[in-house]
Amino acid sequence: MKVKYLLLSVMGATALTVSAQQPTTPETQTLPAHKTAFDRSAGHWFLTLQGGVSAQFLEENESQEILNRLHVMPTISLGKWHNPYFATRLQVFGGPTPTFYKNAAGKVMKENAAMAGAHFDFMFDVVNYFGKYNPKRVFHLVPWFGVGYGFKYHNDFAEMSDIIKFNEPYRHSATANAGLMMSFRLAKRLDLVLEGQAIYSNLNIVKQEIDYKAPSTPYSPNYNGLLGVVTAGLNFNLGRVAWETVTPMDMDLINDLNGQINRLRSENTELRKRPVSCPECPEVSKETTVVTENVLGDKAIVFKFNSATISKDQHVVLQDIADFVKNGNKGVAVIGFADVTGDANYNMQLSERRAKAVAEALVNQFGVPSDMISVEWQGETELFEARAWNRVVIVRSK
């Protein structure tokens, strides 16, 4: 009876950790992503390279036709998804942003200027938020907003060497940024992205020019107004890409274990009601020789999902096994198992790694002679009704 209590206690303790780690495939999910718990492991970074066009708006800039206001604007972004529907990123941009105005004769004039800056954005994947999570989904719609910094300066880009020239007059400004990105999955680590954004840069940090002369007209080269940008490019997913869902707690498994414990308690209560005295045994006419043999009952070392690493709380079981072998000079068999989740060939390899990990721990950490241990593995099995219990290595006497 004590053995049953011990086994149920070990299984109950591991159920809380193992079930909390048990992933489920996306096809089995019925809830939208914002109502699903995800494993927040490392990874999920992305790098986005884009190119497109920009145009100045507000005030006299609209005196020029929109097509004549378009100029090249490249961007580069580095960000991280914190869950399937929320990300943050840092985007850097820079390019020519000339302003326009009409002179007294009504002729449209151009003031050469450029703008460079960076902004930190908060991104929201609408499709993943309201839909069931699917790592192979083709289309994503991602609105975003952010804050940043803009630096506008005079530059006519007459020559290639002018790209790195920052000529006065110029102005520093805080920026408010908002936009909408559409993403199309091309491969596991590659997406096509289309993005439109507005950069409002009338939030001047320095109200006057560096030489303390206020701008005379809103279309001066250092004027900060509204910049519209449309770009397209490629997004590269770095590190881990897919998200694994987790079940925080398997209440059915816990209730089943509690029910077994209650049944065992009831059986013990009934056994206590039996009379203490027992009838005398008849005399045995012939002496019988009783031979006792020291045998190790099945010992279970449990593992987390998709893991062959032995938890520290399993060391007490390994110590019992080591004491049995060294004190009784008896060999043991180490047998690895895996549950039926996933590919059968992979599960066979996983059960092999688990069995060898236990054997190596007995030899290297607990001093058991290697010739006293035999190792085998059987892959995926259903020894136990609860799936998590089958992620186990069983050690028994040979």
CATH of the domain at 63: 2.40.160.20
Q: Are residues 58 and 186 in the same domain?
A: yes
β-bridge pairing 332-338 and 373-380: parallel
Q: Is the pLDDT of residue 76 over 70?
A: yes
Number of structural domains (the chain) is 2
Q: Mapping DSSP to helix (H, G, I), strand (E, B) and coil, where does residue 181 land?
A: strand
Number of Cβ atoms within 10 Å of the Cβ of 153: 18
| Structure-token pair, residue 286 | 């012939």
Nearby residues of 146 by Cβ (< 8 Å), 6 or more positions away: 91, 119, 120, 121, 122, 177, 178
- Residue 233 CB-half CA count within 13 A: 18
Predicted pLDDT at 143 = 97
Sign of CA dihedral 6, 9, 11, 17: negative
**Among 158, 159, 197, 150, which residue's Cα sits nearest to residue 48?**
197
Asked if the structure places residue 265 within a domain, the reply is: no
Nearby residues of 150 by Cβ (< 8 Å), 6 or more positions away: 115, 116, 117, 172, 173, 174, 175, 199, 201, 224
Q: Are residues 145 and 32 in the same domain?
A: yes
| Domain hosting residue 171, numbered range | 28-208+222-238
Number of H helices, E strands in the chain: 6, 16
Asked if the structure places residue 285 within a domain, the reply is: no
Asked if the structure places residue 354 within a domain, the reply is: yes
CA–CA dist 234, 194 (Å, integer): 9
Q: What is the model's pTM?
A: 0.53
Asked if the structure places residue 249 within a domain, the reply is: no
Average pLDDT for residues 179-200, to the nearest whole number? 95
| Structure-token pair, residue 310 | 């032995």
| 367-379 pLDDT per residue, tens | 889 888 899 998 8
CA–CA dist 100, 115 (Å, integer): 15
Residue 202 pLDDT grade (very low, low, confident, very high; cuts 50, 70, 90)? confident
Average pLDDT for residues 149-174, to the nearest whole number? 70
Nearby residues of 20 by Cβ (< 8 Å), 6 or more positions away: 246, 247, 248, 249
Q: Is the pLDDT of residue 21 over 60?
A: no
